[in-house]
Homo-oligomer: A and B are copies of this chain.
Amino acid sequence: MADRPEPRTYISTHTSDAIYIRDKSLVDELIGELSFTEMAYFQIMGERPTAAQRRILDAAMVGLMEHGLTPSVVATRMVYMSCPEALQSAVAAGLCAVGSVFVGTMEGCARLLDDIVAAPDSAARARQIATEYRAEKKRLPGFGHNLHKPDDPRTPRFLEVAKREDIPGRHIAALQLLGEAVDEVYGRHITINATGGIAAILREIDIPWDVMRGIAVIARAAGLVGHIREERAYPAGMRIWEAAEESIPYAGEAPFNE
């Protein structure tokens, strides 16, 4: 494979008296100088974010951190109650649930927005996408919410926070075009949900669609640590376990090979 890049790393090196991350001195240029969010952007993207980019990433990560007793949280609490000596395993188990069902819609929406932004006629492309998804009865990523109706309250907030910053604005515009096309094509208002809003604002700060899952993982890790601390103070795992058992009745021998 002649054209596969040689293994190398651009991330970190060290000497006996210094540590460098992305060629900056950890001690002299990073600790005490960057916020966590700036450092995360720098680590992942290879360049320091602008203040606008940092504020938008902060908003997205604040919005991604906590969603109540989600499947992730349930997994984390189950593992924590079984293995309190390894907090990190409990977080890891919960993070395994940050998969296609949850963040896949963010990724899918980001790809649609890229597609609309790249099209010569963005409005036409948005209508075309809405028409296709409707015809094929596919779930449109970034749209619809089973609880928050008529509108997911987070989405306008994400867009408002981003719009007050100096950003290109093309992905936000693409999302709004798509939203209008959807309402028209489907003949009714369908909310842009939080994953749609986050997809748009993360694309505005250059986060590619295939890194977005990583952003969700980082934010979720903090959410899960909060639940572990609460589980320690107010153990709920046992009750969740009982509730799980009670909710799924035993039905005898399987009627046929599933």
Contacts and interface: CB of A to CB of B under 8 A. Distances in A.
A258 B244 contact: no
A160 to B, nearest CB: 7
B243 A246 contact: yes
A62 interface: yes
A118 interface: no
A229 to B, nearest CB: 6
A26 to B, nearest CB: 7
A59 B247 CA distance: 31
Contact of A239 (B101, B232, B247): B247
A72 B98 CA distance: 18
Interface stretch (A78-86, A122-130, A131-139, A175-183): A78-86
A68 B250 CA distance: 10
A72 B246 CA distance: 16
Given A99-B89, A219-B36, A9 B69 contact: yes
A35 to B, nearest CB: 5
A11 interface: yes
Given A37-B35, A153-B18, A253-B10, A99 B71 contact: no
Given A91-B214, A97-B78, A32 B70 contact: no
Contacts of A120: none
Nearest to A254: B10
Contact of A99 (B6, B79, B222, B248): B79
17 contacts: A5-B234, A7-B247, A9-B68, A11-B227, A11-B230, A16-B147, A16-B148, A21-B66, A27-B157, A36-B222, A46-B258, A74-B75, A82-B100, A83-B96, A92-B96, A206-B257, A240-B243
